[in-house]
């Protein structure tokens, strides 16, 4: 996020030389950002809103968005069909193969979201027992097949940086667990959407937006357990599992890698995953020490 211009900024207090402090204009801005995260707006469950909007649209005389809708075919896919096949039409013949793959991947995301909001399809249940979403992570629980192998791929545009610079570039406040102290390594990826703090053997990913799917985890038994982190419901995943990253701009997920035991939770509007701590109680203790 860029800082708004500050003409005539006199500053509420002079910037000090301490490495922790930031110029006063930034301090007000970060206080405003934090304040925005802590204000409450009553929202009905999104699926209820979606159903209500749909009901209103169905009551309208003309159901198709607009007559000039490009490529809209009135005799096209069945409007009410909930089968994944109907949502995954063959891409247009003129699409290039790479584009069509990406398009299919994007369509798959829609299918997953649709399945999540409106009940998994019978076809989905055959492969995945249950899909859970929390804090920007989608857990596909069932028979995941063999765990992924190979080298972990970096996030799109992933760069090594400093904590200070990461705070400038990320659109959300970055917290550091007091239990672990200063991270040994800091990385920013996907245009500031994900910030990763690394300590030997431990990785804490913080990511913007808990409303969309940022990571997908494919896992089998032992099943994930609920874990309470400062009153927010988190999930403890004790087993090794496959982890994929879904880029903000859509497209194919970043190749799956194997992930160790992980705690996933949400802190206001920021999603977090702590990976590499094998003891659940210790992971929760670290999560609670975020400052």
Partner 1 sequence: MESVGTSEGVPTDDDEAIARSLAGDLTAYEALVARYSVLAHRTAAMLGAGDEAEDVVQEAFVKAYRHLASFRRDAPFRPWLLRIVANETHNLTRSRGRRAELAVKLTGLVPAGADGAGDPGDPENAAVATDRRTRLLDAVRRLPERERHTVVCRYFLQLSEAETAQVLDLPLGTVKSRTSRGLARLREEVDRDLT
Per CB under 8 A, which of residues 77..106 are in contact with partner 1? 77, 79-82, 86-87, 91-92, 94-95, 99, 102-103, 106
**Partners of residue 207 on adjacent β-strands:** 194, 271
* Alpha carbon separation from 50 to 43, 239, 279 (Å, rounded): 12, 35, 40
Query: Does residue 5 interact with partner 1 by CB under 8 A?
Result: yes
Dig out the tokens for 4 from the structure.
Answer: 């708004």
| Residue numbers 179-208 binding partner 1 by CB under 8 A | none
Site for partner 1 (CB under 8 A): which residue of 97, 182, 226, 291? Answer: 291
Query: Does residue 255 interact with partner 1 by CB under 8 A?
Result: no
Dig out the tokens for 95 from the structure.
Answer: 């699409």
Query: Does residue 24 interact with partner 1 by CB under 8 A?
Result: yes
| Residue numbers 218-247 binding partner 1 by CB under 8 A | 231
Q: How far is the CB of 220 from partner 1 (least distance, A)?
A: 26
105, 108, 109, 113: CA torsion to nearest 10: 180
Query: What whole-number distance in Å separates Cα of residue 273 and Cα of residue 168?
Result: 21
Query: Does residue 282 interact with partner 1 by CB under 8 A?
Result: no
What is the CA 266 to chain-centroid distance, rounded? 10
Q: How far is the CB of 105 from partner 1 (least distance, A)?
A: 9
Crossing angle of helices 97-118 and 46-59, in 10° steps, is 100
Label residue 240 exposed, middle or buried (CB < 10 Å: 0-12, 13-18, 19+).
Answer: middle
Query: Does residue 50 interact with partner 1 by CB under 8 A?
Result: yes
Query: Does residue 73 interact with partner 1 by CB under 8 A?
Result: yes
40 versus 182: smaller Cβ distance to partner 1? 40
Q: How far is the CB of 228 from partner 1 (least distance, A)?
A: 14
251 versus 260: smaller Cβ distance to partner 1? 251
Query: Does residue 72 interact with partner 1 by CB under 8 A?
Result: yes
């Amino acid at each position: 996020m860029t800082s708004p211009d500050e003409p005539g900024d006199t500053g509420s207090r002079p910037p000090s030389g301490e490495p922790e402090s930031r110029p006063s204009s930034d301090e007000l801005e970060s206080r405003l950002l934090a304040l925005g995260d802590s204000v409450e707006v009553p929202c009905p469950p999104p699926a209820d809103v979606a159903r209500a909007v749909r009901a209103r649209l169905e009551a309208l005389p003309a159901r198709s968005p607009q007559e000039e809708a490009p490529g809209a075919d009135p005799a096209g896919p069945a409007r009410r069909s909930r089968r994944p096949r109907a949502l995954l039409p063959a891409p247009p013949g003129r699409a290039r193969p790479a584009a069509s793959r990406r398009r299919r991947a994007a369509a798959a995301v829609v299918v997953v979201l649709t399945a999540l909001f409106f009940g998994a399809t019978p076809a989905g249940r055959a492969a995945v027992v249950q899909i859970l979403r929390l804090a920007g992570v989608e857990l596909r629980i069932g028979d995941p097949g063999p765990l992924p192998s190979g080298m972990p791929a970096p996030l799109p545009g992933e760069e090594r940086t400093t904590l200070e610079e990461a705070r400038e570039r990320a659109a959300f406040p970055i917290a550091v667990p007091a239990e672990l102290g200063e991270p040994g390594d800091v990385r920013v990826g996907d245009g500031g959407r994900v910030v990763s703090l690394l300590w030997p053997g431990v990785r804490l990913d913080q990511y913007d937006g808990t409303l969309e799917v940022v990571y997908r985890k494919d896992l089998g038994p032992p099943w994930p357990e609920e874990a309470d982190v400062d009153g927010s419901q988190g999930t403890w995943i004790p087993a090794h599992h496959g982890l994929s990253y879904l880029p903000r701009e859509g497209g194919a997920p970043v190749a799956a890698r194997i992930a160790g035991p992980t705690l996933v939770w949400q802190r206001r509007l920021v999603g977090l995953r702590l990976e590499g701590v094998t003891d659940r109680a210790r992971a929760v203790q670290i999560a609670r020490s975020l400052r």
